[in-house]
Amino acid sequence: MLDLHDISLTFNENTPDEKKALQQVNLTMGKGEFVTVIGSNGAGKSTLMNVISGTLIPDVGFVNIGNKKVTGLPEYKRSKFIGRVFQDPMAGTAPTMTIEENLAMAYARDKKRTLRIGVTKKRKELFRDYLKTLNLGLEDRLTAKVGLLSGGERQALSLLMATFTEPNILMLDEHTAALDPSRAELIKNLTKDVVDKFNLTTLMVTHNMQQALDLGNRLIMMDKGQIILDVKGEEKQKLTIEKLLHEFKRIRGEQFESDRAILG
């Protein structure tokens, strides 16, 4: 479903600010694989997602999504294959539009132009059914402006909007980080449910190691623009935070530098 081949990307090359954000990254993900991604600040996690979404074009290497070569394809042309939720609850939704308008926009993403006509009665029913699965009562607030929702509610809506078109790839970039612990737990559980329900191929960045262990069937650790650890299947099930920290120390010969990652 996803194939990243030998991806390298350097910011501000040949200047004093030069930053090798990705260095020869290879990653292949099969349909339904759910990869959690950990690594310190600046490790290249968001850059990797930006390369997949087409926000950034790599200097070297290629990106395939579902056997389609998309390396040079602009972001808007990839958006129908990709669902994405960001850390900032404000980022994924339009605050001045209503819940149903936001959903209609997301719903039209992968449809032909002729099908993109506003909020029909049938669609309203569909949206109501989807919203019910969140258990937040949003199905009774279809015409409420999204700007009035709490962060947790908006993130739940963002998650729904990113997934109900069953994208080839779902990318979650610290999408629970801005929420209080109980809302973060709620979004974590919703994530698990929706990924299972649609068997979505998913990449999830988190600084919460426990979350990285609890969710998904594969875990990768990034450091300095490289994937330094890749654990799947039974080995992933047996992982513990202690083992992860130990692995990091073994590979890098240093303590895991981000206390945020350790405290998570």
> Under the rule (CB under 6 A), what is the footprint of ligand ATP?
11-12, 19, 21, 39, 41-47
Name the residue nearer to Mg ion (CB basis): 50 or 93. Answer: 50
Name the residue nearer to Mg ion (CB basis): 177 or 215. Answer: 177
* Residue 128 binds: one of ligand ATP, Mg ion, none (C-beta under 5 to 8 A by kind): none
Q: How far apart are CA 124 and CA 100, in angstroms?
A: 7
CB 150, min distance to Mg ion, A: 23
CB 214, min distance to ligand ATP, A: 19
CB 177, min distance to Mg ion, A: 10
Upper half-sphere CA count for residue 213 (Cβ side, 13 Å): 16
CB neighbour list of residue 55: distance below 8 Å, 6 or more residues apart: 75
Asked whether 69 and 89 are in contact (CB, 8 A), the reply is no
φ, ψ at 90 (rounded to 5°): -80, -15
Asked whether 220 and 229 are in contact (CB, 8 A), the reply is yes
Q: How many residues bind Mg ion (CB under 5 A)?
A: 2
Q: How far apart are CA 152 and CA 154, in angstroms?
A: 5
Name the residue nearer to ligand ATP (CB basis): 193 or 247. Answer: 247
* Residue 43 binds: one of ligand ATP, Mg ion, none (C-beta under 5 to 8 A by kind): ligand ATP
CB 113, min distance to Mg ion, A: 34
User: What is the rounded (10 degree) CA torsion for 75, 79, 80, 81?
Assistant: 90
CB neighbour list of residue 147: distance below 8 Å, 6 or more residues apart: 95, 96
**Token output for 168:** 């080839």
Name the residue nearer to Mg ion (CB basis): 46 or 158. Answer: 46
Stretch that binds Mg ion, among 38-46, 134-142, 229-237, 238-246 (CB under 5 A): 38-46
Upper half-sphere CA count for residue 124 (Cβ side, 13 Å): 8
* Residue 182 binds: one of Mg ion, ligand ATP, none (C-beta under 5 to 8 A by kind): none
Query: Is 46 a residue that touches Mg ion (CB under 5 A)?
Result: yes
Stretch that binds Mg ion, among 46-54, 178-186, 196-204, 234-242 (CB under 5 A): 46-54
Name the residue nearer to ligand ATP (CB basis): 42 or 151. Answer: 42
In sign, the C-alpha dihedral spanning 72, 73, 74, 75 is negative
* Residue 208 binds: one of ligand ATP, Mg ion, none (C-beta under 5 to 8 A by kind): none
Name the residue nearer to ligand ATP (CB basis): 146 or 188. Answer: 188
List of residues contacting Mg ion (CB under 5 A): 45-46
